[in-house]
Amino acid sequence: MTAAMQVRLETTAAADHWGKNALLSFSDSEARIHATEATGGILVATQRGARRLDGMGVTAVVLAGDHWDLESRWAFWAGYYNPNRKSTLDWGVGEGEELRELEARKAASLWVREITNGTPENVFPRALAESAADMLQKLAPDAVSYRIVSGDELLEEGFMGIHNVGRGSVRGGAMLQLDYNPTGMDDAAVDICLVGKGITFDSGGYSIKPSAGMAHMKSDMGGAAMVSGGLALAIARGLKKRVKLYLCCAENLISGHAFKLGDIIRYKNGVTAEILNTDAEGRLVLADGLIAASEQNPRYILDAATLTGAAKMAVGRDYNSVLSLEDEMAEKVLSAARSENEKAWRLPLESFHLEQIPSGFAEIANVGVDGSPGASTAAAFLARFVRDNGRGWVHIDLSGSYLPAPNDQWAQGAKGHGVRTIARFLLES
């Protein structure tokens, strides 16, 4: 059994012999993280220190000393996680509220990171839906019920986006419809609906991606994972509201039966959409979930998706992007992110963006006109499938949820960045 290394958090600089602005210093079986302004501040330095220790092959750690608090402990775990290594971390706290919160965050975030990092062979549409349902039902067995719509049922129930995107694969699309109802009353009003994009692999379809662009497309189900994890954390924190969850799951592959450029999808709400790019498929499946959510007439609808490269170009991979036609809705998510020490940034969405997705053969096209802002027109497409053209709706484009390569704060792969934001939105909105 590997002896655990004690890790202390210090707010003073390391001794000069460790180098100028050294992040780490060591003595015997103890490491010290020196969290100063020069090393990034408490949370950034702590996360960087955890990455360094993981990089050194340290596989067992106990957090020791007086300077640790809830957020710094969490920052350490976020950086210490390695998808290719099973390390152990002792939080260094006794039984109590802080430990319960840390374990709740870890359980939700670990599920999100592991399911997103899973292989597309194992995490196919129905498997994703079943995994999310199983995880949430185990968390609240008396309050969670669900059904999975797949195969011909998608057509029978009018979920044309998921059906069309998924029909190129031998493993067709699936929609998870999950009801978290802690009230015990069947007629209780639905307070909030969550909708997640669950494209378990995205080849781009006939608008095929180059190999480099396709390499990480197992992560294109990150939105479905994120809303599921956010709901899980909110439940663990004591959520009392009725919430419905819709995961829109499909593989976007090429075959003789795959959907094609020039096809037109007629949705359940009557809107027709021309396909001008099969690699803009996430909005096509989300439309089904947003229609279903709107039928519940909740107070609020939140969807999350790894939707556009444009959002990543705008804000990089440190921030998630927030879009809404209503200032109040955008601010609810931005405020939740600030409260949870997660990064989010609002991108523009105005009514005129709905005019920038025209089609000569349908009401709208699934991509905008040349020169239009990609993240904004993608969100504008989604708005057409929300009651009253976007009332009480907010969209998170998960630009900060996945890293194709590791950096000094995060391991390669899914970050779970957004789980806490969604959980707080559910609890406080």
Known active-site residue 147: no
Give CA–CA dist 429/13, Å, rounded. Answer: 41
Among 74, 208, 231, 216, CA closest to 139 = 231
Residue 405 bridge partners (DSSP)? none
Catalytic residue among 51, 283, 387, 415: 283
Q: pLDDT tens digits for 366-403?
A: 999 999 999 999 999 999 999 998 999 999 999 999 99
Output phi, psi for 206, to 5 deg.
-65, -20
The reported pLDDT for the residue numbered 252 is 98
Are 155 and 246 in a shared domain? yes
What is the predicted pLDDT for the residue at 3? 85
pLDDT at 211: 96
304 and 385 both lie in a single domain: yes
| Cα–Cα dist 301/127, whole Å | 25
Sign, CA torsion 47/49/51/54: negative
* C-alpha–C-alpha distance, residues 104 and 416, integer Å: 13
Residues of the chain falling short of pLDDT 70: 1-2
Tokens in use for 248? Answer: 């829109």
CB 188 within 8 A of CB 85: no
Per the listing, tokens 């709905």 go with 354
pLDDT of residue 287: 98
Strand, helix or coil at 302?
A: strand
End-of-domain residue from the set 69, 93, 117: 93
- Do 166 and 315 belong to one domain? yes
Do residue 120 and residue 74 come from a single domain? no
| Measured CA distances, 373 to 47, 261, 267 (Å) | 34, 21, 24
Say what the pLDDT of residue 2 is: 65
Based on the domain organization, do 131 and 29 belong to the same domain?
A: no
99 assigned to some structural domain:
no
Among the listed residues 126, 209, 237, 317, the single catalytic one is 209
* Burial grade of 22 (CB within 10 A; 0-12, 13-18, 19 or more): middle
How many residues would you count in the chain?
429
Backbone dihedral angles phi then psi of residue 328, each to the nearest 5 degrees:
-60, -40
What's the domain count of the chain?
2
Domain boundary at 66, 93, 120, which?
93
Nearest to 383 by CA among 353, 420, 360, 403: 353
Q: What is the radius of gyration, based on Cα positions, of the chain?
A: 22
Domain that holds residue 68: 5-93
| pTM given for the model | 0.97
- Do residues 357 and 413 share a domain? yes
Tell me the C-alpha distance between 287 and 393, whole Å. 13
209 is catalytic: yes
Q: Supply 5's token pair.
A: 């290394």
Q: Residue 389's pLDDT is what?
A: 86
Residue 307 lies in a domain: yes
Average pLDDT, the chain: 97
Cα–Cα distance between 174 and 188 in angstroms, integer? 26
Q: Collapsing DSSP states into helix, strand and coil, what is residue 321?
A: strand
Question: What is the CB neighbour count within 10 angstroms for residue 393?
Answer: 28
Distance set, CA 249 to CA 100, 130, 154, 164, 166 (Å): 32, 11, 11, 11, 8
Q: Quick one: pLDDT at residue 94?
A: 85
